[in-house]
Structure 1
């Protein structure tokens, strides 16, 4: 044996006999998945759907508990998470478009920075707007017969994800008066159920979880989905709601609504930021790579389950799930809009609602 071969053999033997690098193990641990909204909304249903699946795939099969920290349209919880640093891998945080939008609009209450966090999973969603039965009977695929109706809508705030439906309804020429201050979209649905609101919208998980039952009971009438994006970036029908017209279709059928120009371009920009990569799971700043990789592998295992697509379609809708590098790319897309779209929306917020972004 040559000296070179001997050295190689000794090195290989040393590697074989050396103790393996410590593996991440969550045996006996409880992982807290914090959601910055109330327990009645789509984000709650999203986290509650994924939490037990994640628990099964993480090493040691820990308990994953979803906790809620509503307030200030989710900025309260996001600001809290910004202050957290890695300790033992037992904290995960979930955001939605209502967390992304204040960040995109430079809301002064935002004290969090997405680039500090470690994204491990992201998933898209859609949204459905629906009407009370009386006004729903007037809907014919356009908003022409709805322009003389005064609607009430329970809203988390105009700078949250609600700006997508609020701007859409305005573009359709509808009179929708928002009641600001609710803590989550589930609270908006409850206002609708009690008759305190006459129009509502839910993300797909929230719609599938509760609002669809209102439709089946004859207490609500679907109006439109926001749609989905095809490979070329065009808005097409939402795969979860293929029989429902998109906002684009309703706009095209409504007098005075345009699917081109500044308003449309800005609506689409915020739709893209708020829905195709709508919900994102993060680990805190400082998380070691091996812990992030462990979470990524667990979410990949969830996605690879043979029953996942069917199970997810019923609970959160038929949307792509992004993991690892895909989640990082989705996060960038969800936290970026053009300067032109941002300027348009900031001006619209001031003119429509007296909201000034400083």
Structure 2
């Protein structure tokens, strides 16, 4: 039998507090060479967006599978999320399909968790959080920061192209997390923080070098496809940059533009987040600017999907069917 899981099924059995340790564990396994993860494949739909196929095998969880995910920047006009996904998980020994599940909630949560884990290892001052962007991922980042740094956060600053979106997120954060939250009129105001997350679909840089003070940690989340960039190249080049995957980041991460221009290469990277988690590389060294370039790894999705599958069986959630 195959278990079909909706987004509400998954949300009922998996919280950010569950997702963070699952993602942190597979980051470490990736650095130690204990996972199989081919690079994601892109299918461009000109004028609309793109699809991505993301396979992985996690021996430690005895699971393999695939995420099929889209990114369509214009979806807000259609009342749909920018990012939607479906995840398929299989028994790696036989290939038997175990579950087909919604992957949209999992994508949001594992991406937020990655930002939280990066901040755990690379940020020093999380008392003020700056968000550049106000969509679903901005909320997911805050869920992770709240889970990890609950009593250390004092204020959240939010900038969006539409002030009403910033105000709505600020109200939501104040209501559910209790933090003093401010809708900022400029990106510069929001960037005045010890922990900054850029969570936009921008293809032109937003975060300027003179906005960011030494000691700041930046989670660069939005640039996840070729040609996308949220940080000005000058800012990226003067920071210590950690990536989730060197191969993915080089062609579709925050560093892809300076990389294509010959200004960035693997030797200029500080390492991967997984190497920091596994103790192979040191995180923050001094009062510097650090950047985590998050492209999103299929091992993150599979780790959370496998957990959701097991929890759903225990809770009796989902629908069983045969093909």
TM over 0.5: no
Structure (1 or 2) with the greater strand fraction = 2
> Which structure would you say has the larger Rg?
1
Structure (1 or 2) with the greater helix fraction = 1
TM-score for both structures, normalised by structure 2:
0.29
TM-score for both structures, normalised by structure 1:
0.27
